[in-house]
């Protein structure tokens, strides 16, 4: 029986949070309801935007993320995770505030690539401008050449697909954001990417493996697999 209690520090955004929960369910080997993990989710969409804080001196999300993390601690979770890649910029402060371990998605992605794609040299990343600016992928990925869309594509395709009027955070999971992300991803492939990372949890909601000819890594899939194996 899976007795571990998993906590999801969620709401950044809500659909990405729900998507991670579903991935945990799918990753769990069960024969009955009782075989599943107990999962506690605090989906707090009131947390200030992470990219705004990093790039434009907006309100820091740390206090609200910490409060959310502490809510899970009060309930008694054994391990936590954050279904928001940009929020990992603040993960040290968040981890210091609670006693349970928080899985670092970047560290797990690095382990996964080393184990499954050891010969890959160049990885393309689609992520928020906040994540790109922080250099988180450069910090955590070992000996890998990381490429991003150029500034124009980053703003007009990737950020529009995530934050735009018809973007994923507006509840649109259809053709418009998919088209923009496919265009940005295709250019990365043309520039030498052998592997693509969906470096924002919203991207994995629309961009799937069947849309590209190179492997796509969804960090939330890796997190789900990591959690159920702990």
pLDDT level of residue 138 (50, 70, 90 thresholds): very high
What topology does CATH give the domain 105-218?
Rossmann fold (3.40.50)
Q: pLDDT digits over 105-126, tens only?
A: 999 999 999 999 999 999 999 9
Instruction: Tell me if the bond preceding 180 is cis, omega within 30° of 0.
Output: no
User: CA-CA distance, 65 to 11, in Å (whole number)?
Assistant: 10
Mean pLDDT of 190-215: 95
Q: Where are the domains of the chain?
A: 6-104+223-228, 105-218
Mean pLDDT over the full length of the chain: 95
In the block, tokens 């954050």 appear at: 82
3-class SS at 123?
strand
Same fold flag, 6-104+223-228 and 105-218 = yes
Reading the block at residue 24, the tokens are 């945990």
Contact criterion met (CB below 8 Å) for 124 and 197: yes
Q: Is the model's pLDDT at 1 over the cut of 90?
A: no
State percent of the chain over pLDDT 90.
Answer: 93
pLDDT level of residue 2 (50, 70, 90 thresholds): confident
Q: What is the end-to-end Cα distance of the chain in Å, rounded? A: 13
What's residue 116's pLDDT?
97
DSSP 124-167: EEE--HHHHHHTHHHHHSTT-EEE---HHHIIIIIIHHHHSTTS
Nearest to 162 by CA among 123, 194, 130, 124: 130
Residue 81: active-site member: no
Instruction: Tell me 108's DSSP state.
Output: H
What topology does CATH give the domain 6-104+223-228?
Rossmann fold (3.40.50)
Active-site hit among 84, 207, 216, 228: 84
State percent of the chain over pLDDT 70.
Answer: 100
User: pTM of this prediction?
Assistant: 0.94
Nearest to 19 by CA among 30, 28, 8: 8
Active-site hit among 200, 216, 217, 224: 200
Q: pLDDT digits over 5-30, tens only?
A: 999 999 999 999 999 999 999 999 99
Residue 200: active-site member: yes
What's residue 230's pLDDT?
86
């Amino acid at each position: 029986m899976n007795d571990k209690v998993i906590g999801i520090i969620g709401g950044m955004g809500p659909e990405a949070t729900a998507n991670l929960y579903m991935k945990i369910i799918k990753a769990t080997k069960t024969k009955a309801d009782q075989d599943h993990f107990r999962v506690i989710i605090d989906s707090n969409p009131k947390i200030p935007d992470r990219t705004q804080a990093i790039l434009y001196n907006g309100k820091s999300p740390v206090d609200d993320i910490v409060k959310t993390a502490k809510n899970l601690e009060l309930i008694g979770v054994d391990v936590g995770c954050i279904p928001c890649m940009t929020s990992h910029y603040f993960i040290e402060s968040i981890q210091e505030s609670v006693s349970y371990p928080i899985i670092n998605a970047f560290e797990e992605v690095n382990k996964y690539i080393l184990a499954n794609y050891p010969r890959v040299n160049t990885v393309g990343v689609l992520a928020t401008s906040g994540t790109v600016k922080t250099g988180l992928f450069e910090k955590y990925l070992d000996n890998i050449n990381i490429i991003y869309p150029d500034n124009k594509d980053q703003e007009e395709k990737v950020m529009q697909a995530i934050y735009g009027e018809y973007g994923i955070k507006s509840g649109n999971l259809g053709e418009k954001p998919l088209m923009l992300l496919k265009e940005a991803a295709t250019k990365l492939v043309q520039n030498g990417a052998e592997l693509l990372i969906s470096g924002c949890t919203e991207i994995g909601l629309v961009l799937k493996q069947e849309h590209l000819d190179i492997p796509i890594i969804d960090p939330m899939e890796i997190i789900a697999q990591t959690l159920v194996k702990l």
